[in-house]
Amino acid sequence: MGPAPAPPRCAPRPDRTGPGRAHWLRVAREAADDLATDTVAREQAGKVPADEVSRLREAGLLTLLVPAGAGGGGGDWPTACAVVREIAAADGAIGQLLGCHYFVSWSARFFAPAALAARIEERSAAGAWCWGGGFARQEPPLALTRASRGLVLAGRQSFTTGVLVADRIAVRAVRQDTGEPFVVVVDPAGRGVRVDGDAGTFGQRLAAGGSVEFDDVPVAADDVLGSLSADEDFRSPRAALASPVGRLVSVQLLLGLAEGALAEAREHCGYPGAAHDPQVLTAYGELTVLTRSASALADETTKAVRRALALGENLTYDAYADLSALVAMAGAAASRAAQDCATGALDIIGAPAASARLGFDRFWRNARTHTLHEPVAHRLREVGDYFLNGAHPPFVLPA
């Protein structure tokens, strides 16, 4: 299925600062409430989430991070993180879809020259584009090759979020003549691009994941945004921040899943009197403490990311290493919270949780699917190596 139709261009807001955080949080809550009304039915149907993307588009959430002067919402990353978390609590897969959109659509700011980034954001806001893709390493890598009429892209990228509904896809591709990896933007409706809905995961089924085949796709100069080199001596601090920001989006998604599972468990507490059962109270208390602790660490991390983004090119590599370690800790805590809450919620609800009609299992399936792609063991090793040996955490982008 092709990308959802984009609305006609809207005139840029006269207020160049945007409507503010309170507005976007209210919009996110309204969108989350809307999604929650039929989450179970939509998740079990497993259809391409074109309607869900239309809901996000109509709410203005797709353009939240675009500057207001360029026709967007003028929001910042802390606001975008709060929105992802709110949406994920209602529908984890749509939370992942939106989080991926925010991260990938902002890739021009991380990797491209300022003038090119501004042009891309203006076009994205004008069409209210939904972005998909990802920059994680894969084997074999996508190949960017020089041909007689310019560059062409070839290869296959699997398990890519958002590609079934995307207006633009951003991917990692390696220049065959230099071996250097770059961010490349592709129109999925263009010649030589074939999108397959073959992800087939047992969770996060509405994240519009699939595979993309690139058959010598022509790549214009402006479609190559910048380098993805992992070499600290070559990579700019601005580009380096793509790693902690991408991981922070994953943290917010996981916390949304945890909070959604706890909220559902509270509403469906099983047998009569369960709300006063000491075992249920203890279980719910433990999960609440776990989630609140992970949330506090995520809030600290979000503030640190905001400060780092404000520093831009003045960010030192030592400060970047501190931030990367903090994000890794937040990721480990959020991963544990999401998995424990998803499992514990089933125990709190009891036997009714086994009903497929009620769909309580979706929290566990969604959390487990995401954490399989983002293994917590890697984050814990990075934290240990940093604090014991002073090793800078690697530049790793989310899957």
Whether residue 7 lies inside any domain: the answer is: no
CA angle at 163 for the pair 166 and 260, rounded to the nearest 5°: 95
Q: Is the predicted pLDDT of residue 2 greater than 70, yes or no?
A: no
d(C-alpha 208, C-alpha 216), whole Å: 24
Q: Is the predicted pLDDT of residue 9 greater than 60, yes or no?
A: no
At residue 8, the pLDDT reads 39
At residue 314, the pLDDT reads 93
- Residue 198 sits in the same domain as residue 273: no
DSSP letters for 98-167: HHHHHHHHTHHHHHS-HHHHHHHHHHHHHHT--EEEE----SSPEEEEEETTEEEEEEEEEEETTTTT-S
- Residue 144 sits in the same domain as residue 93: no
At residue 152, the pLDDT reads 97
Q: Is the predicted pLDDT of residue 1 greater than 50, yes or no?
A: no
- Residue 75 sits in the same domain as residue 120: yes
Residue that is last in its domain, among 97, 132, 167: 132
Q: Is the predicted pLDDT of residue 192 greater than 50, yes or no?
A: yes
The answer to whether the beta carbons of residues 98 and 250 sit under 8 Å apart is: no
Residue that is last in its domain, among 227, 254, 277: 227
Q: Is the predicted pLDDT of residue 15 greater than 70, yes or no?
A: no
% of the chain with per-residue pLDDT over 90? 79
- Residue range 292-304: mean pLDDT, rounded: 98
The tally of domains found in the chain comes to 3
- Residue 104 sits in the same domain as residue 146: no
Greatest mean pLDDT range, 191-200, 240-249, 350-359: 240-249
- Residue 247 sits in the same domain as residue 376: yes
pTM over 0.85: yes
| Phi-psi label, residue 189: left if phi above 0, alpha if psi -120 to 50, beta otherwise | alpha
Per-residue DSSP letter, 3: P
Residue 204 has φ and ψ, to the nearest 5°, of: 50, 45
- Residue range 345-360: mean pLDDT, rounded: 90
The two structure tokens encoding residue 352: 């009714």
Relative orientation angle of helices 242-267 and 317-349, to the nearest 10 degrees: 20
**Size of the chain, expressed as the number of residues it contains:** 399
- Residue 203 sits in the same domain as residue 245: no
- Residue 247 sits in the same domain as residue 321: yes
Whether residue 3 lies inside any domain: the answer is: no
Q: Is the predicted pLDDT of residue 164 greater than 60, yes or no?
A: yes
Which of the four pLDDT bands, split at 50, 70 and 90, describes residue 88? very high
Whether residue 9 lies inside any domain: the answer is: no
- Residue range 7-31: mean pLDDT, rounded: 73
Q: How many CB atoms lie within 10 A of CB 354?
A: 11
What DSSP element (H or E) covers 195?
A: strand 193-196
Whether residue 6 lies inside any domain: the answer is: no
At residue 274, the pLDDT reads 80
At residue 199, the pLDDT reads 80
- Residue range 215-229: mean pLDDT, rounded: 94
% of the chain with per-residue pLDDT over 70? 95
At residue 162, the pLDDT reads 96
Q: What is the CATH number of the domain that holds 267?
A: 1.20.140.10
Least Cα distance to 334 among 213, 250, 237 occurs for 250
Relative orientation angle of helices 21-36 and 77-90, to the nearest 10 degrees: 20
Q: Is the predicted pLDDT of residue 266 greater than 70, yes or no?
A: yes
- Residue 383 sits in the same domain as residue 244: yes
| Better-scored residue on pLDDT, 184 or 238 | 184
- Residue range 243-250: mean pLDDT, rounded: 96
Q: Is the predicted pLDDT of residue 30 greater than 60, yes or no?
A: yes
Which of the four pLDDT bands, split at 50, 70 and 90, describes residue 45? very high
| Better-scored residue on pLDDT, 317 or 252 | 252
Q: Is the predicted pLDDT of residue 85 greater than 60, yes or no?
A: yes
Whether residue 1 lies inside any domain: the answer is: no
Q: Whole-number mean pLDDT of the chain? A: 92
- Residue range 103-113: mean pLDDT, rounded: 95
In sequence order, the 6+-apart residues with CB closer than 8 A to the CB of 158 are: 138, 199, 211
The Cβ-side half-sphere exposure at 335, using a 13 Å CA radius, reads: 22
Q: Is the predicted pLDDT of residue 10 greater than 70, yes or no?
A: no
- Residue range 123-138: mean pLDDT, rounded: 94
- Residue 216 sits in the same domain as residue 267: no
- Residue 223 sits in the same domain as residue 257: no
Helix, strand, or coil here: 16? coil
Q: What is the CATH number of the domain that holds 63?
A: 1.10.540.10
- Residue 125 sits in the same domain as residue 144: no
Q: Which of 19-23, 34-38, 47-51, 348-352 has the lowest mean pLDDT?
A: 348-352
Whether residue 75 lies inside any domain: the answer is: yes
Helix, strand, or coil here: 173? strand
Whether residue 399 lies inside any domain: the answer is: no
- Residue 303 sits in the same domain as residue 289: yes
Residue that is last in its domain, among 132, 149, 174: 132
| 378 bridge partner residues | none
Least Cα distance to 49 among 7, 91, 106, 81 occurs for 91
Whether residue 395 lies inside any domain: the answer is: no
Q: Is the predicted pLDDT of residue 14 greater than 60, yes or no?
A: no
At residue 229, the pLDDT reads 86
Q: Is the predicted pLDDT of residue 118 greater than 50, yes or no?
A: yes
What domain range is 146 assigned to? 133-227
